[in-house]
Each structure stands twice: as C-alpha cells, then as structure tokens.
Amino acid sequence: RPTLCLLLTDQIPTLTKPTLATSALGGFITASTFVLEQPRCTFTGPQDTVIWLVVARPEAVPSFNNSVKPGSPARAFQQFLNSTLAYMTLNTTLLNYPCPKKPGEITVLRVGSETSCTSDANRPTCNGPLPNPGPYQVKFLALNGSEPVAETAWSDPITLRTAKPPSSIPGKGSGRSAGMIALTSILSILFAILLAGLVAMLVWGSDVGGGSSTFSKPEAVTVRRYNTHHVYDQPAARL
C-alpha cells in the first residue's frame, strides 16, 4: 500500500480529453489538418503555466513520456514518423485560455496549419501539415517550467480526409458522366453554328437593305417656273 500511495502522489491530474470543433465549422477536417476546441476552463494554476499540444500516433500513446522536453529530437515535428511517433506544438500560456470565453469569440485551434517551417530544423515545435491520413491522437499537457503539472486524457482517434482516386469511381456512373459531357459538347457546337448563321444573316440583310435603298431613292426633279402671261382679246377688226 505505501508503494501504491507513492505512485498516486507522483501522478499528475488527468482532465477532460480534447474534442474536435463542431462540424458546422467549414473545413474542420482536411487532408492535412484538423480543428480542435481550445482547452478553455480545463486547466487551473498560475497564468504563466505553458500549455502544449501533443500529437501522436496511437501506437505511441501507451508509452508516451511526459518528461521528454518539447523541442528535443524525440519531440520534433521534423522527425515525426521517422525517429519519433509524437511531437509537441502550439505552446501558449494559460493566460491565453481565459474562462469563460467572450461571446462570439472563436476558440479553436487548427492543427497542421504552418507550411513555412515544415523542413526547418530550427523550428522543432512547428505546427506543420500532417503527413498522412492517420489516425492521430492528441492531448494537452501543462508544464510549469519543465515539470508536467497537469494533462488531459488522450482524444479519440482522428482520421483525416483522403482524395478518391479516379479508378474508385464506379464505371456506370462514369459512363453517364462521359455521355453527359459528350452531349453538352455537341449542343455547344450546334449552338455556336446557329449563332454564327444568325449573325451572318443579319450582316447580309443589312447590306442588301442598304443597297436597295440607293436604287429606290427618288431622283431629284427640277421644276422650272414659268410666268403666266395674260392674253387679252384683240378688238375685232373694223371693217
């Protein structure tokens, strides 16, 4: 029993596990990122306590060691899935997770959003894009200096989206799609021919109309003006 008590006192508090952001948030899971709710009202203690996010493959969860320092080769993003199965990122102080949150405030974290530091060995805590669909598990770990003081439980496994290869599209559906594309192309060509014909007719009609108007134009008629002279009856010749 004394040994059991010793083990219990050496353990740090385990708090509520992280959760994904609501599905109403657009793009909350992509091919290389996912979005978590911030750990608001989860940790208590000094405001300068540093909260880290641990991202791990499920097989690394049972043997994960909280004492390994963030930024060390065993916790570097650039070594993830090579020499290590877990890394630590998104560090911030407890001050930045106030409780309760303000109305209308966005309180989420996007994991995998940094692309500039993916290969930068000087940024071992890079929040880089996740390399494959996973699955992954995450937890928040609170450090006071270098000492772990509290942690959340591990999240449920998180699997990212994958793009479907063209070969996975059913053949029947593909046939209908190809048929629709062909029909659309034919109709487009016919419409273009019809439109060109209409334009040609309008141009030809305007030319003919303009030419006929020159022939139908009445010629100018010059009317000479004559002064009318009155003719008086001559008196009868006197015999």
- Could you report the per-residue pLDDT of 130-179, keeping only the tens digit for each? 999 999 999 999 999 889 999 999 999 999 998 766 665 555 554 456 66
Name which of 38-52, 106-120, 188-202, 214-228 the model is least confident about.
214-228
Identify the residue with better confidence: 8 or 52.
52
Check if the beta carbon of residue 159 is closer than 8 Å to that of residue 138.
Answer: no
3-class SS at 69?
coil
Q: Mean of the pLDDT values across residues 205-223? A: 51
Cα angle for residues 137, 138, 140 (degrees, 5° grid): 160
The 8-class DSSP code of residue 74 comes to G
Which one-letter amino acid corresponds to residue 202?
Answer: L
pLDDT above 50 (res 42): yes
**pLDDT band at 23; cut points 50, 70, 90:** low
Distance CA 36, CA 111 (A): 7
Distance CA 163, CA 71 (A): 32
Please provide the average confidence, as pLDDT, over all residues in the chain: 80
Cα separations (Å) of 28 from 21, 23, 92, 113, 114? 7, 6, 21, 12, 16
High-pLDDT (> 90) share of the chain, %? 52
